[in-house]
Structure 1
Amino acid sequence: MHAIDPGALMGPLWTLLSYVALGWLAARRLAVDPRPIATLLIYLVAPLTFFRGLVQGGPTPTYLLLTLAAFAVASLLALLVHRLTRGTFAPQESALLAFSAGTGNTGYFGLPVALVLLPPEGVTLYLFCVLGITLYEFTVGFYLSARGQFSVAESLAKIVRLPLIYAFLAALMVSGLGLVVPATAMEGLAVFPATYTLLGMMIIGMTLGRVSLREVDGRFIGACVAIRCVLWPLLALGAVVGLQAIAPLSRELAMAMLLLGVVPMAANVVVVAMELGIAPAKGAQAVLITTLAAPLLIPLYLTLMIRLASL
């Protein structure tokens, strides 16, 4: 495969944008407050979604190594961006930039695209990379975001209270001990991934519904777009080419890594910003712009990256 069909991406794109539109209508016409929904996502929906995905995936040492590698890369990138931007942006903006730098819309947007572009083995590899990035979001990323508003002690206290960390440990324990989650329980948990996607994208629309054009910050949005649409693709391509120079890399893993580098900004940027009260409107604007650009950029980027990586 040397070219990516843009038409294959239109279904996921329009579905996600329709969720954003529903959120906008809910804020404008029904005066729905998105903050309780953000809290619900962070403390209930996300942990249960994460637990189900990890248990179903059947983690192996190789898969968990991918999770660890994705977590490490995301964390290091976020720390680097935080260090570089804290002198030029306000504390809250720098914190939000740092959080967004380590993640992308790997789940809401990336997974439907992965299902279209990758074989089953590639989707599994992609999912375990996504787990690492998700774990970053609710540990290192959450801490950096909280530091834009709270002290070190307060930020650490907020992380300790996050149930997603315990959901991750519980899933590892279930898999490691060979325990079987009852089928009825897994069936009940099956509703949470779709709920996570729906509410996560609706929050973007709800936040945008409260924003006026006077609040648009071109400098902040430009920095977000540069990180997501320039830095991440270069990082993903460099990682694939570098690993290929060291040892043979399967096409499935290479494609999964490249896809991680070209997805739009994470909707969780808005979710976490809403929960912590750190410039959610600015985050929502940047997320929407990169999502709208995705159907044009992803086929272009992937086609070029595939050729450069000789896949």
Structure 2
Amino acid sequence: MVARPRSTYDDLALPSGRDGWVATYRWTGKPYRRHRHDELELNLAVSGTAVYELDQRRYDLGPGSLIWLFPGQDHQLVSASADCTLWIAVFRSACVRRCAVGPEDQVLLQADPPGHHCRRLASDDARDLTHHLRAVRSVQHDAAALNLGLAFLVRAAWLMFRRAPVQAVADALHPAVAAAVRLIAERPERGGDELAARVGLSRTALSRLFHRELGETIVAYRQRLRVEAFLDQPEGKPEGDLMKAALAAGFGSYAQFHRSVRRVTGVSPREWRAGHRLGHAVPR
């Protein structure tokens, strides 16, 4: 079996009686780790540009881009411009089932449907959807209003998506980059020379291509996988042996471990163990 990059299950811990939430996201410079969750998710790009990696395919988002992320899909926002702003909405499966009333809507109920589910909306639709998202966010303090709004939102967004033109927005990763990703997942300690030899490129050519396709260097990508290995370790006490955790995750030194964890999560390993978590934050 070919190894795939590590993925983390995100429990969004939606409050009881609420069918989802709506929030805005602004790029912080720190990529989310690859993850998935039980809820259907949509992202609408408002400004700037962003790059999603989804099952070794690259999706480039610009203003008006609407992407659907399904429960069975590992996804990751790997890079974005400094001015990137996204609307994010998530929906419980029960809410989606109530709104998927026709045969053409059944794709919304699938865990990992075939095809590419990212399109650029017409400008009027993008403006209207932004208005709907803002309206739903404004009533999140009231569960009944929120749930009614989410049902309207998922239905309206799907209708807008279906009438948007199909675009070639999903680009398969270059075969050499996809092979490098698989090789790093199998054995993160592989050096640059070995990776280059295995994929049939020079080290310089592979480095440039990898950065262009995924928005980060091979070294940064490898370190992020190690950080994710640390984040996925069973939770321990803040005063637990972090050096052992670093070695178990594949780091060669504590200094390297500390720098990498802070770069990915924004906090130190000890602060992470004390209660910080990376992923979607449920709006209150």
Normalising TM by the smaller chain, what interval? under 0.3
Q: Which has the higher contact order (CA 8 A, sep 6+)?
A: 1
- Using the size of structure 2 for normalisation, the TM-score is 0.26
Structure with the higher fraction of residues in strand conformation: 2
Q: Highest Rg: 1 or 2?
A: 2
Structure with the higher fraction of residues in helix conformation: 1
